[in-house]
Structure 1
Amino acid sequence: MKRYQKMFKKLNIKKQGAFIPFLILGDINPEISIKIIEHLILNGADALELGIPFSDPLADGIIVQNSILRSFKYNITIKKCFEMIYNIRKKFNNIPIGILTYTNLVFNNGIKNFYYNCKISGVDSVLIADLPYEESKIFLKTSLIYDIKQIFICPPNSNNNLLREISSNSKGYIYLLSRSGVTGTEKKNIKPNIKIINKLIEYNSAPIIQGFGIFKPSQINYSINLGISGVISGSAIIKIIEQNQKNYFKMFKKLTKFIKIMKKATLYD
């Protein structure tokens, strides 16, 4: 059984959803980045979504952009990212690890070469943030060759045809956007589209994971009880890193508190 399947099966038995932190590889520096990731795992993260630094991250707001700039100070390359993931995988064999990236990075690395490196470094899934489903055929085909789960984004305004296609082809999980726009600009709670959730369930989709705008426990509990299988939270975590980058003790303490509170909120009724 694959890692995502094992995770969701285990969480269902416990009546829990998945809490998945997102962060940029290499922020604040490669060594601290690894320690932060290990800390998140040890304090309750069910899976990881790791971003490869990219110079033009169209889906990301200023918080994530600043994180990318911090990683670029240490010349974090795709090769270095795969090395970091390989080292994480050696220590944590069971946790699902997903990559979030952009089309140009995959093309520039060579599509087959990119997915091959995912395979040998221990990556479970790839989400390409700016890849329209209609243009995904070669990526999906290559992901199947290397046994990598290709994750597709489900926009909040998806029609039934798109929902049906995504349900058939998104492996591991489906990334449900809370809203349109870029990350890290939330000022109020964003509720997921219940009709879309129900349609995805009707089409027997992979587990639904909600992202964009997740920063409060109440949001998680609400979504979990609608039938969502988990959430991804990125900007809120990266903000803690940014605000405490000169005080690691304080940073890790705040990350521990945040992860534990958010994970507790994944218990469903």
Structure 2
Amino acid sequence: MTRIDAKFAELKAAGKSAFVSYIMAGDPSYDTSLAVMKGLPAAGVDIIELGLPFTDPMADGSTIQLAGQRALETGMTLNKTLAMASEFRKEDNTTPIVLMGYYNPIYSMGVDNFIAAAKDAGIDGLIIVDLPPEEDEELCIPANAAGMNFIRLATPTTDNRRLPKVLENTSGFIYYVAITGITGSGSASTEKVGAEVARIKQSTDLPVCVGFGIKTPSDAEGMAKVADGAVVGSAIVSKLGAGESVEDVLAFVAELAEGAHRA
């Protein structure tokens, strides 16, 4: 059982939905992002998504794109991102960390080297948005064999013909993208998302967490009522981009987490 599996089992026993928060590693600086990361569990975060900066983040809107650019400009790399996870693990050995990003930096490091380094750093799962199920031999299957969850995205366009392929080697949880578009854009209908989550859950026992378009505690509560968890990224990252303090960012995260847990 991975930390992700254990966390969902714990939440289910408590009758709670999960709150998942995303931050970009190295934004606006290594030290600031590490301080935020260390404060997330106390703010109520159940699972941390740690963004890996990349030059061409095709699934991300301007907020996450700019965060990645800021991080890259400070010299953030895949190795430094893993080092950040290692620092976090010195104080917290239970909160799951999911590394979210794109395949190119991993390919450049070499899959075997990356998996070994990620395991050593305490990474529990991967969301690699530009690797479709047809490419599972590249990273998904080796990661699963090493004991890491490989979390797949499902979207409003993932119909019943496509869904079995998406679920095939997925583990940990399903990340349901609530809107058709990029991160930080639009907002989703709870009714429509609830129907889609129910459809997906007919085909899998994995938890389904909903992300994209969740910006407020009320949004988080609404989505957590119809799913196993709510994911917030751009709304948090935008506060860091605006120069808000670590304390203020974590206070906002605590409000979001309270909303999700209230569901």
Q: When the two structures are superposed, what TM-score results if normalisation uses the length of structure 1? A: 0.91
Partners of 2:164 and 2:11 in 1: CA distance: 26
Opposite residue 233 of structure 2, the aligned amino acid is G
Q: Secondary structure at the match of 1:161?
A: coil
Opposite residue 240 of structure 1, the aligned amino acid is K
CA offsets 1:152-184 (integer angstroms, 9 cap, x no match): 110111121322233342111111001122112
Matches within 5 A, 1:196-235: 196-226=196-226, 228-235=227-234
Which of 253, 256, 259 is equivalent to 2:250?
256
Structure 2: tracts of 5 or more residues without a match: none
Structure 1: tracts of 5 or more residues without a match: 246-250
Partners of 2:99 and 2:3 in 1: CA distance: 14
Opposite residue 258 of structure 1, the aligned amino acid is F
Structure 2 equivalent of residue 248 of structure 1: none
Identity of counterpart residues, as a percentage? Answer: 27
Partners of 1:124 and 1:172 in 2: CA distance: 9
User: Is the CA contact (8 Å cut-off) linking 2:43 and 2:257 kept in structure 1?
Assistant: no
Q: Secondary structure at the match of 2:161?
A: helix
Partners of 2:105 and 2:138 in 1: CA distance: 15
User: Is the CA contact (8 Å cut-off) linking 1:164 and 1:200 kept in structure 2?
Assistant: no
Q: Cα distance, 1:190 vs. partner?
A: 4.2
Structure 2 equivalent of residue 108 of structure 1: 108
Partners of 2:86 and 2:224 in 1: CA distance: 31
- For the pair 1:158 / 2:158, whether they are aligned, the reply is yes
Partners of 1:207 and 1:147 in 2: CA distance: 18
Q: Secondary structure at the match of 1:160?
A: coil
Partners of 1:83 and 1:267 in 2: CA distance: 30
Q: Summarize the Cα distance change of 1:150–1:189 in structure 2 as closer, same or farther, 3 Å threshold.
A: closer
Matches within 5 A, 1:58-97: 58-97=58-97
Opposite residue 137 of structure 2, the aligned amino acid is K
Structure 2 equivalent of residue 181 of structure 1: 181
Partners of 1:154 and 1:185 in 2: CA distance: 17
Partners of 1:95 and 1:73 in 2: CA distance: 29
Report the RMSD for the aligned CA atoms in angstroms.
1.7
Partners of 1:230 and 1:209 in 2: CA distance: 4
Structure 2 equivalent of residue 134 of structure 1: 134
Partners of 1:108 and 1:180 in 2: CA distance: 30
User: Is the CA contact (8 Å cut-off) linking 1:163 and 1:199 kept in structure 2?
Assistant: no
